[in-house]
DNA sequence: ATTATTTATGCAATCGATTGCACAAACAAA
DNA sequence: TTTGTTTGTGCAATCGATTGCATAAATAAT
């Protein structure tokens, strides 16, 4: 402990001949403290370079001003932007954000939540792992009366606030846009995964077709992991099958990108021969050639919303935690990859 | 407090008719505790579902197991990957990472560091803001005897460990590669900013030219903010100037991308007419057409290294904190944008 | 058998701030 | 003047775990 001895409320108290209680109250704006005393305390605190020890405060008050934030992968634009959004709101309210990543591994997810609880966070904001089927660790959070907000990857199994974007609407917009551009044979890349968001995108695709009187063709629907390679192989399969198609709506930008590569390699023109739309508005979409039309999910705003829901829950009477589900509206970002009609 | 009452070491102690001290020691593997007692404690702890209260522990021991991590921008691939790297090491050692972003604003940086100190983090890993000229807030960290590790954006003004990549070497590799591809009139996009990393890249560029007997031409050097738009306008200027050039080495991928757009718009072929190399290996570089050659800085590994330096400092005798500077070697990722010679 | 040493545990203070309850002083009401 | 309120502080317990020092019991050394 060769650190310069930190000043505590006791030092301030001693100097002013009052007790630590008084100092504590003065610093916290308790109305029972006289103006004179309050000012003296604040002045002395400044003079002594006092900095509150949040750990001591946390132990006694039970509030750490920490939010545990769990994401599958920190270094993916979508998630890092959400973290950014949460951090912005949290910081402005003097809360700090602890981040952990699950890497889609259930054990990691469970451990992270436990670690958060041990660190005595005031609550958790999380996106559920792809393979998570069991939610005991989250139940524990709720049982302790802590706010829990789920974003993007949510589950109906937990009675808690969540924020998602309207994947159905995003897919509907994307598909409708392609139809408006004159496409009628629209392929779709999706995944088998049992995650709602992909089901919703699929539903939006199908409904848009139906609403425009276009029959769904199962041979145009491909299921995989939605990575670049999947997009490439789906495109290959499409071409090999000899199927008639004039557009692809991919539930992921990466798969769309894979398709773009293959199509270009085969000498096909985008969007003239095949129009392309992706999903997520990854940063790279504006840099492809042609730039890729995609669906923006406003991740930073999603982070803001998640944080707001969190603080709502935190400040509400514990008795009546009314789980609130917020659905954000996505936006179709139209770029050259889907613009057949030059307007 | 309707939360299920958490079990404490006192509950365990009571049940076993020992004291809390014994329980604490047993849980912490203190050798002065008998095997019998230790086992009984561990068993009871499990039965009662005991979870240590890290806040209480932190208050007493002075160790919070928290690392404060400060980055300019969370949602940029380079930084989020570094966060990821740090998080991986930290988590494996049972430490948690609190992230804050400065957005390159000095006040934010200062406040974040103060907030970290108030939260009593065990140390800080940070990248300095572009405009930061004053380092008092970091000095405070060192004065308190806390480990401070700087990464990427560092400063010689602080006596502390740092990890950077060899920007000089990266630029040297990039420029040499262009020369090997037969380029002799290589433009360079850089910035006026007083940050070492860009100076180093500039130096690498110049030295590579010299070493290959190519004279530097000031009319081929452009300075700006290295964003997409800067790249575009530099490229425009290059073309308008009528200067003779057959390659561009940009100190940033974004500016390189801007140049690629403009060059393609003007009907120039890449790499045949102009070869292009960027810097940072942004995720989008593999998706451009042609894919952009760039310099990989291994951000995740940089995160690992930063974390390792951090724990070294944390575990070393406070007396002898030997600041250590680690220089990582970058790698040139050769893609089509610079491959004139098809090998 | 006596003393010295080791082993295992307890005692009580401590980390620094918060907070319910008590209470003196000052002021208002009767 | 007496009683009732309000105002401003103090007292002391508390949050839960850690740790230096003391000590009883068990074992080893003489």
Do B283 and A64 make contact, defined as CB atoms within 8 angstroms? Answer: no
Q: So what's the pLDDT on residue B207?
A: 97
Q: So what's the pLDDT on residue A3?
A: 38
DSSP for A208-245, written as a single string: HHHHTT----GGGEEES--SHHHHHHHHHHHHHHT---
In this predicted model, what pLDDT tens digit does every residue of B210-263 receive, in sequence order? 999 999 999 999 999 999 999 999 999 999 999 999 999 999 999 999 999 999
Instruction: Kindly identify which residue of chain B lies nearest to residue A68, measuring between CA atoms.
Output: B98
What CA–CA distance (Å, rounded) separates B88 from B305? 11
Low-confidence ranges of chain A (pLDDT < 50): 1-3
**Which residues sit close to strand D, CB under 7 Å?**
A 13, 17-22, 25, 31-37, 56, 59-60; B 6, 8-10, 20-21, 24-25, 27-28, 50, 52-53, 56-57, 59-61
When the candidates are 3.50.50.60, 3.40.50.2300, 3.40.190.10, 3.40.50.740, the CATH number that belongs to A167-296 is 3.40.50.2300
B283 and A CB contact within 8 Å: yes
Two structure tokens written together for A111? 């451990």
State whether the Cα torsion A67-A73-A79-A80 is positive or negative: positive
- Summary mean pLDDT of chain B: 93
B235: phi then psi, degrees, rounded to nearest 5 = -65, -45
Query: Average pLDDT for residues B320-330, to the nearest whole number?
Result: 88
* Closest CA relative to residue A82, chosen from B88, B107, B99: B99
A140 and B CB contact within 8 Å: no
Contacts of B25 (CB under 8 A, 6+ apart): B32, B33
The nucleotides of chain C lying under 7 Å from a protein CB are 7-12, 14-20
| C-beta atoms surrounding B194 within 10 Å | 10
In this predicted model, what pLDDT tens digit does every residue of B244-253 receive, in sequence order? 999 999 999 9
For strand B294-296 and strand B275-277, is the pairing parallel, antiparallel, or unpaired? unpaired
Q: So what's the pLDDT on residue A130?
A: 84
CATH code of the region B61-166+299-330: 3.40.50.2300
Is residue B193 a contact partner of residue B170, using CB atoms and an 8 Å limit? no
The nucleotides of chain D lying under 7 Å from a protein CB are 7-12, 14-20
Q: So what's the pLDDT on residue B318?
A: 61
Q: So what's the pLDDT on residue B322?
A: 81
B300 and A CB contact within 8 Å: yes
Chain B residues in contact with A97 (beta carbon < 8 A):
98-100
* Closest CA relative to residue A339, chosen from A254, A253, A247: A247
Do B100 and A87 make contact, defined as CB atoms within 8 angstroms? Answer: yes
**Which single residue is written with the structure tokens 């050259």?**
A336
A105 and B CB contact within 8 Å: no
Identify the CATH class of B9-52: mainly alpha
**Which single residue is written with the structure tokens 């702890």?**
B45
Contacts of A255 (CB under 8 A, 6+ apart): A189, A224, A226, A227, A228, A230, A231, A234, A278
Contacts of B175 (CB under 8 A, 6+ apart): B186, B204, B205, B208, B209, B249, B277
Same fold, B9-52 and B61-166+299-330: no
For strand A96-101 and strand B96-101, is the pairing parallel, antiparallel, or unpaired? antiparallel
Is residue B105 a contact partner of residue B129, using CB atoms and an 8 Å limit? yes
Do A287 and B288 make contact, defined as CB atoms within 8 angstroms? Answer: yes
Left (φ > 0), alpha (ψ -120 to 50) or beta: where does B312 sit? alpha
Do A287 and B284 make contact, defined as CB atoms within 8 angstroms? Answer: yes
Contacts of B40 (CB under 8 A, 6+ apart): B16
What CA–CA distance (Å, rounded) separates A330 from B134? 42
State whether the Cα torsion A245-A249-A251-A256 is positive or negative: positive
Is residue A279 a contact partner of residue A309, using CB atoms and an 8 Å limit? no
What CA–CA distance (Å, rounded) separates A77 from A164? 17
Q: C1' nearest to CA of B22: which nucleotide?
A: C9
B257 and A CB contact within 8 Å: yes
Which residue from A2, A59, A80 is facing B80, i.e. has the nearest CB?
A: A80
The CA distances from residue A43 to A47, A57, A247, B37, B338, in Å, are: 6, 21, 69, 52, 64
- Nearest residue to D7 (CA, C1')? A32
Contacts of A343 (CB under 8 A, 6+ apart): none
Cβ pairs A/B, distance under 8 A:
147
Contacts of A240 (CB under 8 A, 6+ apart): none
What CA–CA distance (Å, rounded) separates B257 from B337? 11
Two structure tokens written together for B2? 């309707």
In this predicted model, what pLDDT tens digit does every residue of B8-32 receive, in sequence order? 999 999 999 999 999 999 999 998 8
What CA–CA distance (Å, rounded) separates B276 from B257? 9
In this predicted model, what pLDDT tens digit does every residue of B158-176 receive, in sequence order? 999 999 999 999 999 999 9
Q: CA(A58)–C1'(C17) in Å?
A: 8
Q: C1' nearest to CA of A20: which nucleotide?
A: C17
Angle at B80 (CA atoms; ends B76, B83), nearest 5 degrees: 150
Q: C1' nearest to CA of B10: which nucleotide?
A: D16
Which residue from B65, B77, B257 is facing A75, i.e. has the nearest CB?
A: B77
Map out the domains of chain B as residue ranges: 9-52, 61-166+299-330, 167-296
Verdict on whether the full-model pTM lies above 0.85: yes
Q: So what's the pLDDT on residue B3?
A: 39
Which residue from A55, A59, A87 is facing B74, i.e. has the nearest CB?
A: A87
B112: phi then psi, degrees, rounded to nearest 5 = -60, -45
């Amino acid at each position: 402990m060769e650190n310069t001895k930190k000043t505590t409320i006791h030092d301030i108290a001693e100097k002013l001949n009052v007790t630590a209680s008084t100092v504590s109250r003065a610093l916290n704006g308790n109305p029972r403290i006289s103006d004179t005393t309050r000012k003296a305390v604040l002045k002395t605190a400044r003079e002594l370079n006092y900095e509150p020890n949040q750990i001591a405060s946390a132990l006694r008050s039970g509030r750490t001003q920490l939010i545990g934030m769990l994401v599958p992968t920190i270094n993916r634009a979508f998630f890092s932007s959400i973290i950014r959004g949460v951090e912005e709101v949290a910081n402005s309210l003097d809360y700090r954000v602890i981040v952990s990543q699950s890497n889609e591994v259930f054990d990691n997810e469970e451990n992270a939540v436990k670690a958060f609880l041990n660190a005595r966070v005031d609550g958790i904001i999380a996106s559920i792992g792809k393979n998570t089927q069991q939610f005991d660790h989250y139940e524990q959070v709720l049982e302790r009366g802590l706010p829990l907000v789920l974003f993007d990857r949510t589950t109906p199994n937990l009675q808690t606030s969540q924020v998602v974007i309207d994947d159905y609407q995003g897919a509907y917009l994307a598909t409708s846009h392609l139809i408006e551009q004159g496409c009628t044979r629209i392929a779709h890349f999706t995944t088998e995964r049992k995650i709602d968001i992909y089901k919703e995108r699929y539903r939006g695709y199908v409904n848009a077709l139906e609403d425009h009187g276009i029959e769904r063709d199962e041979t145009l629907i491909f299921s995989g992991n939605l990575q670049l390679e999947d997009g490439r192989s789906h495109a290959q399969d499409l071409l090999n099958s000899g199927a008639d198609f004039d557009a692809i709506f991919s539930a992921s930008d990466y798969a769309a990108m894979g398709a773009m590569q293959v199509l270009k390699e085969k000498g096909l023109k985008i969007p003239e021969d095949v129009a392309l739309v992706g999903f997520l508005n990854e940063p790279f979409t504006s840099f492809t050639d042609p730039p890729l039309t995609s669906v923006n999910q406003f991740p930073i705003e999603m982070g803001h919303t998640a944080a707001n829901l969190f603080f709502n829950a935190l400040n509400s009477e514990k008795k009546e935690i009314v789980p609130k589900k917020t659905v954000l509206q996505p936006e179709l970002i139209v770029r050259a990859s889907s613009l057949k009609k030059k307007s």
